[in-house]
Structure 1
Amino acid sequence: MTEATRGLDPEVQNIIDGFAQAFPKGFAAAGVERVREFGRQGDAQIPTGPAMHSVEDADVPGVGGSSIPIRVYKPTSRGVLPVLIYLHGGGWCVGSINGGVDYLCRSIAAAADIAVISVDYRLAPEHKAPAAVEDAMAVLDFVRASPPSEGLDSARMAIGGDSAGANISAAVTHLDRDRGERLAAQILLYPATEYAVDRPSWVDNANAPILTAADTLWFWDQYTATPDDRRDPRVVPALSKSFKDLPPGVILVAEFDPLRDDGLHYAELLRSGGTEVRTQRYERACHGFMTMPGLRDQVHGVEIVASFLRDALAPV
């Protein structure tokens, strides 16, 4: 056991060992396609999550005639369900709606008794920022325009995601607020909300398992085309001018994660604008734990998220 993993939940060790074997020199040395293939192989090994009344794949019209794949989870056929729009993680350039994300979406839908719409947004580096945010906004608008016969209650809607997906989700809350709308809640799981700020977690977890500081910079390089992108609030939500009138939220962070303090600082920014936000710090967890089925912290995280969503999306 190294200093980087001392104190980590032993349940995670096999996962860490797999990553270390596949990427001994980090994600950057492997390249985007190798990381994507590893992710696809890992997704294929994830068990199916809780049973749903229905799981349907569809396409939403995107920017410039593009098509955005989505997956709609409904735990029950009863009535019109509130909605969580979910954006997967993967450093904006890998990841999908399958595997651990599929398991997580099923788990949240079942525990909160809501519909979950998982978004397969365009990936970098083929599609640089803010393509992923544009796709998320397109899906949000599509759901808002959906008739009640679709079984989705657009008046009770939240957005959320993990890592890069949480970054996209946070950006959407600001854009939506600025055009006079307001989501009911936001769920940010170990979010990437600022670019390479020298906070303790960035230094202490420079060589953390799963995600290192160097890997984080590499992912940012895939997503952004120029240094100016890293000053764009659509890309770096912590740079937004106002944090007022944003939806209440939950932010979960992991102790062994360079992004830990990004999330905690973003919670402070939300509170400074008068936004209610609950934070939970998992002392034995690493980046990505919410898409690792069966971990105790993952199960607890789902409980927190579901409890918050049940309250936030309850009928008025």
Structure 2
Amino acid sequence: MNNLTNASKEYIANTNKSPKYYHLQPAEVRAARALCPQPKIDLPLLKQKIDRKIPVRDGNEIDVRIYIPNGQGPFPIIIYYHGGGWVFGNLESADAGCHLLAAQANAVVVSVDYRLAPEYKFPTPLHDAFDALLWAYEYATELNGDPNNISVAGDSAGGNLATVVTHIAKAQNGPDITAQVLIYPVTNMDMTTTSYENYAYDLGLDRDGMIWFGEHYVNDLAEYEKNTVSPLLQNNLRYLPKALIIAAEYDVLFDEGVAYAKRLQEAGVPTQHTVMPGLIHSYFSKMEFFEEDTKKTVQLIADFIKS
């Protein structure tokens, strides 16, 4: 692992100063992360950035943040689901990446603050994710967006939600999704791959941390076998939209991303698998360490969405 970037090494050194999150309670870690300052970077001007609440199926509301670019529109729409193992993350942790994406892709980005485990276990985060897609489709014109050009995207657990949403949309005759963008996604909760062995500790996502996340997310470990938790287990991928899978080179999730890309390609789905060399899991939401890498990733996504 001598090929780790300097940014990766700096991030690892910084995180090693604190207790491992999986030795703490979720509320403790969320509180500590809420105190971290937002990265100080120059972001391009957008026409609007709007926070609002939207209804979901159980009668509650969740928050979304809408990024509207400059220009006439109607714009493509990207529904974005943040990472954090279904336990952490919020609109703030995804803010810089979504802001850049709206400007670079010239798209309306809807960042979804789905409810978190363990307070809201599977399938509530997934239901929130799909309900946000339905809401964006219904209100696309109000957002100056194109209801016929909707993509889904997400990092880590958010990538998991994004691709499972594409399955649900087809199964339930929901909105047509034109593309899926999955940044180091969770696709299989088996956790026995070679990358889980090689990159198990101190590389952004520990194996023990992934076990901790999974146990908080599901109601019973048998749910790992559900294809709505482990989308690699889906029988039929032929009807899915084109996919961009972005991998961090040193990541426990690397192999399952490769496996998902291979299955999509074998099913005839146009799929691009891109490896970010020297990087580790979670880089996309850590702009204070990985600003240039995040910008490169946003450019990859923008080019893919526009293709």
Per the shorter chain, which TM-score range?
A: over 0.9
User: Which of 235, 238, 241 lines up with 1:244 in the alignment?
Assistant: 238
- 1:314 alignment counterpart: none
How far apart are 1:255 and its partner, in Å? 1.4
Structure 2: gaps spanning 5 or more residues: none
Write the distance in 2 (CA, Å) between the matches of 1:40 and 1:256: 27
User: Which of 135, 138, 145 lines up with 1:142 in the alignment?
Assistant: 135
- 1:271 alignment counterpart: 265
CA contact (8 A) 1:174 1:246 kept: yes
Deviates more, 1:189-198 or 1:5-14: 5-14
- 2:304 alignment counterpart: 308
How far apart are 1:50 and its partner, in Å? 2.5
Amino acid at match of 1:16: I
- 1:129 alignment counterpart: 122
Write the distance in 2 (CA, Å) between the matches of 1:43 and 1:242: 43
Q: SS state of the match for residue 64, structure 1?
A: coil
- CA offsets 1:295-316 (integer angstroms, 9 cap, x no match): 43322211111100112xxxxx
How far apart are 1:146 and its partner, in Å? 1.6
- CA offsets 1:19-62 (integer angstroms, 9 cap, x no match): 11112xx2211221222123223353454632211000111111
How far apart are 1:201 and its partner, in Å? 0.6
Write the distance in 2 (CA, Å) between the matches of 1:159 and 1:87: 8
Write the distance in 1 (CA, Å) between the matches of 2:49 and 2:152: 19
Write the distance in 1 (CA, Å) between the matches of 2:255 and 2:37: 28
Please tell me whether residue 154 in structure 1 is matched to residue 147 in structure 2.
Answer: yes
Amino acid at match of 1:287: H
Please report the TM-score for the alignment, with normalisation by the length of structure 1: 0.92
Percent of aligned pairs with the same residue? Answer: 28
- 2:255 alignment counterpart: 261
How far apart are 1:287 and its partner, in Å? 0.3
CA 1:34–1:18 in structure 2 vs 1: closer, same or farther (change >3 Å)? farther
Amino acid at match of 1:151: N
Please tell me whether residue 287 in structure 1 is matched to residue 286 in structure 2.
Answer: no
User: Which of 98, 102, 116 lines up with 2:95 in the alignment?
Assistant: 102
Write the distance in 2 (CA, Å) between the matches of 1:22 and 1:97: 23
- 1:6 alignment counterpart: 2
Amino acid at match of 2:267: G
CA contact (8 A) 2:68 2:143 kept: no
User: Which of 18, 22, 33 lines up with 2:27 in the alignment?
Assistant: 33
- 1:169 alignment counterpart: 162
CA contact (8 A) 2:12 2:202 kept: no
How many residues of Structure 1 are paired with residues of Structure 2 in the alignment? 304
User: Which of 58, 62, 81 lines up with 1:64 in the alignment?
Assistant: 58
Q: SS state of the match for residue 175, structure 1?
A: helix
- 2:173 alignment counterpart: 180
Write the distance in 2 (CA, Å) between the matches of 1:284 and 1:73: 30
User: Which of 11, 14, 17 lines up with 1:15 in the alignment?
Assistant: 11
Write the distance in 2 (CA, Å) between the matches of 1:34 and 1:143: 33
Write the distance in 2 (CA, Å) between the matches of 1:149 and 1:212: 42
CA contact (8 A) 2:105 2:302 kept: yes
CA contact (8 A) 2:158 2:185 kept: yes
The Cα RMSD (Å) is: 1.6
CA 1:46–1:235 in structure 2 vs 1: closer, same or farther (change >3 Å)? farther
Q: Which runs of 4+ in 1 moved over 4 A?
A: none
Please tell me whether residue 221 in structure 1 is matched to residue 233 in structure 2.
Answer: no
CA 1:46–1:39 in structure 2 vs 1: closer, same or farther (change >3 Å)? farther
CA 1:156–1:112 in structure 2 vs 1: closer, same or farther (change >3 Å)? same
Deviates more, 1:148-157 or 1:42-51: 42-51
Write the distance in 1 (CA, Å) between the matches of 2:303 and 2:238: 24
Write the distance in 2 (CA, Å) between the matches of 1:43 and 1:119: 21
Please tell me whether residue 207 in structure 1 is matched to residue 201 in structure 2.
Answer: yes
Deviates more, 1:13-22 or 1:186-195: 13-22
Deviates more, 1:204-213 or 1:107-116: 204-213
- 1:120 alignment counterpart: 113
How far apart are 1:216 and its partner, in Å? 0.6
